[in-house]
Structure 1
């Protein structure tokens, strides 16, 4: 038997947990000849939790899901479309959320208020409801709990993503094996808080709604809110967490050992999905990770890490495999966090090795050629030690390439 707290990665995504099924279809909403709708369904009622964009301009699905999650109704299904965001669509956009939920409720014989909806794509366009409704009725009989259906659903929600994103784990709660899985999409318009992303996490764990929401709200601070691709916070950011309790573990109602294990698994899922999005930023060639160590407080470390990860000049240097450490120190300096630049040590790390670039704010005698090799890997890390305390924080982003501009110059076409 696995030890308490041990997390084991398993194949799959949103269908890994007991009782969850998924389906997808090509509805022709915007994309041609590719799946662009997905559905997640639970055989049993779920408690739900959610976190949403902090952009004042919020898409209709965000408003709909807030009402469902915060209203307390049990959740049974999620309908997702790619291609059109249903954002800035006024009263009609909200009505379309209701029509989507109504069609799903009829197709699955579940209450309308148990249906969550999500959209991603172009802002300002109205959904083609005839195709949405046709897609829902096409998916209902295709719902399946196999790994393949979950993967197909993850692919169906992609927009400018170049790869689908999913992960699943199993762990122990009260002596019972519990599973948790998730899928997400996100490639551009990504910046805290949160990012242009949709993320759906499912688990068969039994846990109270209050603790489910608390666990999710806390975890997004160190995962989704620590990634950035381009500095733009989307109108549609949504993270939904559904728990149907079908694993049969003792219901988690307090912050005990089981709750800690649950949070640990949730963090693994969310961090993995967050890094997959950062590493698939529009046009990018590398995942860029920034670790701040030796900070005085966690908040100081977060501010410093985010400032570096969002620096366009730093991101361009990573694309050029150029160890231009001055850009990193500069980004730390304008972050607003207080530190002594003359005490900072900086390292670059990747699969090609680790090397120190500056010590106490001054460049060391390093090889530019070696630095280029280290920075030429698909995953690159910058570690900055500010020597003030023991707090740490990590942020994730990507390099800035020519292709980012190309992708976003004609996104609507």
Structure 2
């Protein structure tokens, strides 16, 4: 799906940009200094949809959220950072439930309407005394600003990630906003972060689920940093109808809304990759001319996940052989004599052979903050786009001492 900016416009704000949402972010003591507990609240009951990690080891808050999403209605999301509440057994489930119950009591809603998310170190029980202190503080700090909430969900991230756009439904302006976190353990199915999307349009839960699935397919399932899929990956969408627009159930309204939702999701997904742990470059990998779309995806992800390609991108050296090799082992149909490769606008491979005299120009194309690697297989209509980043020494430093 191509996200056309003609159907939406960017606006300021993030998760609280749509009407009827409040948020807060506080420091409760899970981390030593930084904000570590966020709360997002809809002033009216909202339909809810979610997409979750495919990792068979799922954190307790993921299991809790799946139950809430099945019911289809939510009022709030409570999120802690600094502790994943994963691989914590029965205690982890009880702690997730208590987070929902205490948040519900602070807001005057039902626990079954509260979504819970956690991110941080795996295998360590939540420090619930800190969480118990933080939830009332977060509830008392709710405001129309989502900035502090976006800060409170971060772990190794270098910056908060927010986005918002407006579009129209039935002639009425509606807004889609969101916030996300993620810098490591980023890879599809689900790829992979915590992301919270809000809208003041109203879609019944099954329709919202359809729109969210399409948006995630074109955003969070098109990014990779390090090939790891977390135990906690969660993308949630809430729709509270506060804009007063007609109910979105299908047709052109659903298409326009999905375009807007995808635009926000893609913004956030690209920010996650740009913030890849230790990364210096956001890299767009485009494969076209594949036998079909599935082959294009195979080739694109093989390039995007290759450690040799990612370290080449970090060094800015145009070693195109690594790209061609990744395509060759990807499982996609390949005729070497038809392969063409570009770094930026510089063609480095034509008909399977290196182009002479372009080394310096190609190297320069790889040294920008945003880089494009494009491959044409010359076989058919298949096309895919994936975002990744370079990989350098800083990634090793961060993850070699993550828990200390």
Find runs of 4+ consecutive structure 1 residues off by over 4 angstroms.
none
Query: Are the equivalent residues in 2 in contact too, given 1:187–1:281 (CA < 8 A)?
Result: yes
Q: What pairs with 1:5-404 in structure 2 (closer than 5 Å)? A: 6-29=7-30, 31-72=31-72, 74-145=73-144, 149-253=145-249, 255-349=250-344, 354-404=345-395
Q: Please give the TM-score of this superposition, normalised by the length of structure 1.
A: 0.95
Q: Displacement, 1:315?
A: 0.1
Q: Displacement, 1:196?
A: 4.1
Q: Displacement, 1:391?
A: 2.5
| Farther-moved stretch of structure 1 (332-341 vs 403-412) | 332-341
Query: Are the equivalent residues in 1 in contact too, given 2:167–2:173 (CA < 8 A)?
Result: yes
Q: Displacement, 1:178?
A: 0.2
Q: Displacement, 1:222?
A: 2.1
Q: How many equivalent pairs are there?
A: 401
| Farther-moved stretch of structure 1 (192-201 vs 53-62) | 192-201
- Deviations 1:363-407, CA, capped at 9 Å, x for gaps: 112322222211110111101111122231101111010000000
Q: Displacement, 1:214?
A: 1.1
SS of aligned partner of 2:346 = strand
Q: Displacement, 1:220?
A: 1.4
| Farther-moved stretch of structure 1 (333-342 vs 163-172) | 333-342
Query: Are the equivalent residues in 1 in contact too, given 2:192–2:220 (CA < 8 A)?
Result: no
- Where does structure 2 lack aligned partners over 5 or more consecutive residues? none
SS of aligned partner of 1:356 = strand
Query: Are the equivalent residues in 1 in contact too, given 2:214–2:262 (CA < 8 A)?
Result: no
SS of aligned partner of 1:300 = helix
Q: Please give the TM-score of this superposition, normalised by the length of structure 2.
A: 0.97
- Where does structure 1 lack aligned partners over 5 or more consecutive residues? none
Distance, in Å, in 2 between the alignment partners of 1:341 and 1:131 is 59
Distance, in Å, in 2 between the alignment partners of 1:412 and 1:311 is 26
Query: Are the equivalent residues in 1 in contact too, given 2:341–2:375 (CA < 8 A)?
Result: yes
Query: Are the equivalent residues in 1 in contact too, given 2:86–2:232 (CA < 8 A)?
Result: yes
Distance, in Å, in 1 between the alignment partners of 2:254 and 2:332 is 33
Query: Are the equivalent residues in 2 in contact too, given 1:196–1:235 (CA < 8 A)?
Result: no
SS of aligned partner of 1:82 = strand
Distance 1:263 1:153, change over 3 A: same
Query: Are the equivalent residues in 2 in contact too, given 1:5–1:172 (CA < 8 A)?
Result: no
Distance, in Å, in 1 between the alignment partners of 2:326 and 2:276 is 20
